[in-house]
Amino acid sequence: WIMRRMPGYFHNFHCTGTDCRDNCCCVGWEIELDPATAEKYRRMEGELGERLRAAMYEEDGCICMGQTDGRCPFLDARNLCSIQQSLGADMLGEICREHPRYYAWFDGITEAGVGMCCEEAARLILSDPALDTFVTEDSREDNDCDYDPAVFDALFAARQTAFRLLQNRELPLGERLTLFLVFADGLQEYLDLDEPERMQQDIRQFSNEAYCRSMLDTLHARSRGDKNRTAHWRALLELVAGLDILDAAWKNRLEALSRDPDRLLCRCDAFAADAAPLAYAFEHGAVYYTYRYFLRAVFDGDLLAKAQLTVIAALILGICCMAEWEKTGTLTLEQIIAQAKTFSQEVEYSIENMDALAEASYQTAVFHTEGFVSMLLG
């Protein structure tokens, strides 16, 4: 027996079926079939079996389900899966059966969650004003992972500190994200030196309120003198807009924002005041990305890129919500959910785009802690 950890809302997720306005699980994605399901479909008799085999194709060693006009051919007129209706959920492929749930496997524990690419999952993640909590339960999974347990233990302790930083509602979210990123930047040095035991000193420091306040005072002073803040924003927006974006309207918005970010950013104070009652939603988004990716640095040693993803998601969500606020004159939870879902779909759920961001984390002209801090504190 091992343990499974998950956010407190995990078991509350239920597919909304015909009420879903997006159908992100069946539309616009390449649907890969696991080998066991593909074999079941190959052996199936009757008309449905023939349709299944006709829709299957192989690409790069993977078996996929072909789409018709960007939609799974087994969606009926009500956007329900005809495979599930005819054969039951057990006959769905693993991806279709589990989506939007995700899992990460470590020695002795599996971590589970629901992905923000799904509109109902995003609503579940972002809507509760209470702090995020995590629960554990017994699991029968048998994980066999290859990593240094000392690194895992250090990262796990560091992530607990990261959660405390991000959920400290005594501070504005920009300051919380700043401390989080500076914290991760220091931890990365210890990973590079293969000295995970030294992480404990940073954990102690960033758990000290006076230390964090002094750090913020110093960073605010530096940020005020940064004449390149607009250039940092433009570089980030151009980078994200230049990814493989499927939603043309979202891409156009990012491109428009990148041309003159100051036009919108000069209204930050007014936006922050209107957004304050919904600040918890932005916080939940940051905790989501930290929970999902932070510990995965145990496999590749690249913690800073994962922390940067949390910050990028928050910055892009913030400026896109500002654009919505400017257009409509108000900010609603539904607007935040829609923008968070779009970022997740377009960036987080594209291997190519995630790889592009990870690679860009080594390009100091765009991705560096000082630039992010300037954007967060500006």
Residue (of 27, 33, 50) closest to 91 by Cα position? 33
Residue 81 has what DSSP assignment?
A: B
DSSP string, 338-354: HHHHHHIIIIIT-HHHH
How confident is the model over 342-370, as a mean pLDDT?
89
326/293 Cα distance (integer angstroms): 32
- pLDDT 10s digits, 98-154: 778 899 999 989 999 999 998 999 999 999 999 999 999 988 877 778 899 999 999
Judged by phi (left if over 0) then psi (alpha if -120 to 50, else beta), residue 108 lies in: left
Give the largest CA-CA distance in the chain: 71
Token pair of 176, please?
Answer: 């919380």
314/104 Cα distance (integer angstroms): 22
User: Tokens 């560096």, residue?
Assistant: 368
214, pLDDT greater than 60: yes
Buried b (16+ CB within 10 A) or exposed e, 339-349: bbbbbbbbbbb
Q: What is the residue type of 238?
A: E
Give the phi and the psi of residue 127 in degrees, each rounded to 5: -90, -20
Residues near 185 by beta carbon (within 8 Å), at least 6 away in sequence: 304, 307, 369
How confident is the model over 322-327, as a mean pLDDT?
95
Q: Look at the pTM and tell me if it is higher than 0.85.
A: yes
Residue (of 32, 158, 175, 143) closest to 98 by Cα position? 32
Of 206 and 364, the structure prediction assigns the larger pLDDT to: 206
Is 74 within 8 Å of 262 (Cβ atoms)? no
What percent of the chain stands above pLDDT 70?
Answer: 94
Q: Cα Rg for the chain, rounded, in angstroms?
A: 22
Task: Report the side by side order of strands in the sheet with 56-59.
Answer: 31-33, 62-65, 56-59
Report the pLDDT value the prediction gives residue 378, as an integer from 0 to 100.
84
- Name the 3-class secondary structure at 63: strand
Which residues lie across from 101 on neighbouring strands?
Answer: 114
Token pair of 2, please?
Answer: 């091992």
Report the pLDDT value the prediction gives residue 309, as an integer from 0 to 100.
97
Which pLDDT band, with edges at 50, 70 and 90, does 334 fall under? very high
User: Tokens 């041309």, residue?
Assistant: 259
240/112 Cα distance (integer angstroms): 27
Give the residue ranges of DSSP H helices in the chain.
35-43, 46-55, 82-87, 94-98, 119-126, 149-166, 173-192, 199-206, 209-224, 229-241, 248-259, 261-265, 268-275, 279-293, 297-300, 303-328, 333-343, 351-360, 369-377
Report the pLDDT value the prediction gives residue 212, as an integer from 0 to 100.
98
- pLDDT 10s digits, 12-33: 887 655 556 665 555 556 678 8
Cα dist from 7 to 189, 210, 352, 363, whole Å: 29, 30, 27, 34
Task: Report the side by side order of strands in the sheet with 101-106.
Answer: 101-106, 109-114, 2-7, 134-139
Report the pLDDT value the prediction gives residue 83, as an integer from 0 to 100.
80
